Structure 1
């Protein structure tokens, strides 16, 4: 066998392959030996992010296959005649980075396009774009068949990528000052009943409702709890835009009947109940372990 002027590195790799290992010769001329594989690895996917398209199916496909925005999956709204179930489109391979999250943050991580899969659901969203008058907005429902198809998809993705319950998120949660999807009509509790995502335990919720019976904790403490749950919120003691957005996103998911973004005792009870169940280490913070100031203690400033 004559190798001519083949570079030494390529020659060595080829000889290694000839010695018994399988080899894949790339067009560049470099031989890759893949006969050995490491067990020390995991999926690059950390989060699953749910969206609604705010468009019909045809327009959603046109937008999501265009040059500016994309998602890994699109779940149709109604059953396909041939399939008998809503069609699930795979628009971007899971190994590739889709452009769905934008400026985003959760649990100390930013730029979530790098570490997430985006899943869009065909849904018209609110009947008008205002979020300041959210209680007066009519939201498009999600059909049962569509959610059934989504649950099947999510269970597969969660199993293959080992996604934690706390890492299934809505777009509003990772970008609360910019986004409101999948909105308060999305049935998060149905997903939880199917074994997907998070929900507070009733016993914990009752306990924290008693704790906050006289009112919510100081605003800075509530902000600490929001940050411990995952939101990009700074404990300033002022009701700024980031805090309002985080509260609204939290309420849309866990208390959709009232999601005006205002701090209140019921929101605090739900938040602390979730921390107790899914992030108990956060309650080692004295401010979160005892969120109600003792009599005579100087309260934190409120915005």
Structure 2
């Protein structure tokens, strides 16, 4: 009898038919999407290599947006992983207290080289294609509506892994996403007001660390201006003050942080 039971179980598993009946006519109101964040990346590779890596390698993303190549045509958006499944794009990451964000995020890769290196060994960051950003905005709007996400849910790889990642880089037009209502942006008049105050007296390192953590960054809280703290500051500056992202805790950065935190999550 026991042997028969094993055979029956094996056949059920083999056929994928459990024999159970399900009634879906009742749905709980206490539910929401598992997706909490959308993470933006650049591939640093051309389209053929990007497709190969993201479909045949150990990394993946839910979407890949091609570069704009043909006039009057929107870039192709490749759907590589179903949104209900986990893609391997974030790696060791943290945002707003959540860690290893592969399980709670949608990853969007964009075909973009990122930067080149000049003869002096310095990074030369490359501009973004407007049609590619237009396509991204449409995709982000659709994802956010379907998953009920707020304006604080879109982050860059450099936000969630500031100790090891730079993408999508300082030339990525975050302000365009803000104009589309997809992310929060510091109010310029408020920034100017706070900058005047902080120029007279710059806040402590501990203050900067607290403000960065309030936004969502994983940052040390030991009141020391170490390299890890500088890396987080640089990631924040790269997003909100891309003309200078040196990791220095200056008055303008303090003003941007306070103005942004007043908006809320």
TM-score (norm 2): 0.89
> Residue in 1 aligned with 2:52?
62
Shift of 1:220: 1.0
Shift of 1:128: 3.4
Equivalences for residues 148-159 of structure 1 within 5 A: 148-159=134-145
| Kept in 2: contact 1:215–1:264 (CA 8 A) | no
> Residue in 2 aligned with 1:190?
176
Structure 2: 5+ residue stretches without partners:
6-14
1:106 corresponds to 2:91? no
Runs of 4+ that moved beyond 6 A? none
Shift of 1:27: 1.3
Equivalent-residue separation in structure 2 for 1:115 and 1:80 (angstroms): 35
> Residue in 2 aligned with 1:33?
23
| Kept in 2: contact 1:201–1:277 (CA 8 A) | no
Equivalent-residue separation in structure 1 for 2:100 and 2:205 (angstroms): 27
Equivalent-residue separation in structure 2 for 1:223 and 1:34 (angstroms): 48
Q: The residue matched to 2:115 in structure 1 has which SS?
A: coil
Q: The residue matched to 1:213 in structure 2 has which SS?
A: helix
Equivalences for residues 4-83 of structure 1 within 5 A: 27-79=17-69
Shift of 1:198: 1.5
Equivalent-residue separation in structure 1 for 2:257 and 2:212 (angstroms): 7
Structure 1: 5+ residue stretches without partners:
7-24, 280-303
1:237 corresponds to 2:211? no
Shift of 1:241: 2.8
1:90 corresponds to 2:79? yes
Equivalences for residues 95-174 of structure 1 within 5 A: 95-128=84-117, 136-174=122-160
Aligned residues: 252
| Cα-to-partner distance string for 1:229-270 (whole Å, 9 max, x where unaligned) | 111112212122321111111011000000111211111110
Shift of 1:116: 0.3
Equivalent-residue separation in structure 2 for 1:123 and 1:67 (angstroms): 19
| Kept in 2: contact 1:79–1:145 (CA 8 A) | no
| Cα-to-partner distance string for 1:73-116 (whole Å, 9 max, x where unaligned) | 001111458x9210000000000000000000011111111100
Which structure's relative contact order is higher, taking Cα pairs within 8 Å and 6+ residues apart? Answer: 2
> Residue in 2 aligned with 1:16?
none
| Cα-to-partner distance string for 1:112-163 (whole Å, 9 max, x where unaligned) | 111000000100012139xxx99x4211211011000001000001111111
1:246 corresponds to 2:235? no
Greater shift, 36-45 or 69-78, is seen at: 36-45
Equivalent-residue separation in structure 2 for 1:255 and 1:217 (angstroms): 18
Shift of 1:278: 2.0
> Residue in 2 aligned with 1:207?
193
| Kept in 2: contact 1:200–1:270 (CA 8 A) | yes
1:272 corresponds to 2:258? yes
Equivalent-residue separation in structure 1 for 2:46 and 2:53 (angstroms): 11
TM-score (norm 1): 0.79
